[in-house]
Amino acid sequence: MDESEMPTYIGADHLAELLDEAVEITRKAGELTLEYFGSSGLTIDLKADGSPVTQADLRAEQLIRSHLGLRHPDDGIFGEEQAEKPSRTGRRWIVDPIDGTLAFTHGVGLYSNLLALEDEEGIALGVINMPFLGETVYAARGLGCFCNAAPARVSQRDDLSGSYLSTSCISNWEDAALVEVNRAGVELRTWGDGFGYALVATGRVEAMVDKDDKLYDLAPMPVIIGEAGGCFTDLSGEPTPYGGSGLATNGHLHDAFMGLLSAS
């Protein structure tokens, strides 16, 4: 049976191999982005939606696509910067070459490289690589979550007061939600993008929220947060990265954060 005839569900042994590949490829992309990070010659263009893109974004996505194309030529690829490649296997790789391009272009090292693999059961594996920080958080379905090879787990805090909530921005928040978060004694920080989700998975903050985001920004998060012992949903409460928003928590406080963030 060749790869194009393989069932779309991925067994544990093969999934472990794919996770190792995904971590390797994402780290290579991260190394490439560091060549541009902090460079005075970095060229920043604006896409049609007004968001920034650099040659580092474009080259990092091409690097990931090239590696995946050689190793898994029949898999689909959906990325931020290039047209989607259709799948012949039922599997699809989802790529965000630089999550946090605004941070990247301002010389802030909290950006990340994201990669996920989707099969018929949903998101099978995910990687958040933070090259400037030297951290990679990754997980695969049923195989656990890890940060640089050490097991990663969410925090065990079950009290909103004193808990930490991260977000990518507050410009799209309702004023009432900000008031409720403050009133509950929650510490709100803008350690956003993939970095915020990595903080949840490793127990350094209790929650991360994106009120408006794309699939390539969110795809790795359900499996990473779930395998770390937490909970990931969109803001309607559905356990999916396809809903245009994301809330990741340590699980103990998920309903409480949902209540705060639904204030209007």
The string of pLDDT tens digits covering residues 141-187 is 999 999 999 999 999 999 999 999 999 999 989 899 999 999 999 99
What is the rounded average pLDDT of the residues 21-39?
A: 97
Shared domain check, 117 and 69: yes
* Statement: residue 246 has pLDDT above 90: yes
Shared domain check, 168 and 136: no
Mean pLDDT, all residues of the chain: 94
* CA atoms of 118 and 125, how far apart (whole Å): 7
Shared domain check, 182 and 246: yes
- Domain range spanning residue 23? 3-151
* CA atoms of 99 and 33, how far apart (whole Å): 11
Shared domain check, 35 and 57: yes
Shared domain check, 177 and 146: no
The CATH number for 114's domain is: 3.30.540.10
* Statement: residue 264 has pLDDT above 60: no
* Statement: residue 8 has pLDDT above 80: no
Shared domain check, 188 and 232: yes
Kindly list the strands in the beta sheet with 92-99, ordered across the sheet, starting from the edge strand earlier in the chain: 76-79, 92-99, 112-119, 122-130, 135-140, 144-147, 150-151
Shared domain check, 135 and 103: yes
**Based on the structure, what is the number of domains in the chain?**
2
Shared domain check, 186 and 125: no
Closest of 105, 98, 109 to residue 44, by C-alpha: 105
Shared domain check, 139 and 198: no
Q: Contact at 8 Å (CB) between 205 and 191?
A: yes
Q: Is residue 227 part of a domain?
A: yes
Per-residue pLDDT tens digits for 40-78: 889 899 888 888 899 999 999 999 999 999 999 999 999
Task: Label residue 9 by pLDDT band (50, 70, 90).
Answer: low
Q: Which of 151, 185, 211 is the last residue of a domain?
A: 151
- Tell me the three-class secondary structure of the chain, residue by residue: CCHHHCCCCCCHHHHHHHHHHHHHHHHHHHHHHHHHCCCCCCCEEECCCCCEEEHHHHHHHHHHHHHHHHHCCCCEEEECCCCCECCCCCCEEEEEEEECHHHHHCCCCCCEEEEEEEECCEEEEEEEEECCCCEEEEEECCCEEEECCEECCCCCCCCCCCCEEEECCCCCCCHHHHHHHHHCCCEEECCCHHHHHHHHHCCCCCEEEECCCCHHHHCCHHHHHHHCCCEEECCCCCCCCCCCCEEEECCCCHHHHHHHHCCC
* CA atoms of 138 and 129, how far apart (whole Å): 8
Q: Is residue 69 part of a domain?
A: yes
- Please report where in the chains the tokens 């896409």 appear, as a residue: 47
* pLDDT confidence of residue 5: 44
* pLDDT confidence of residue 41: 85
Per-residue pLDDT tens digits for 92-133: 999 999 999 999 999 999 999 999 999 999 999 999 999 999
Shared domain check, 140 and 198: no
User: What burial class does residue 12 get, using C-beta atoms within 10 Å of its C-beta: 0-12 exposed, 13-18 middle, 19+ buried?
Assistant: exposed
Q: Which of 110, 127, 151 is the last residue of a domain?
A: 151
The CATH number for 236's domain is: 3.40.190.80
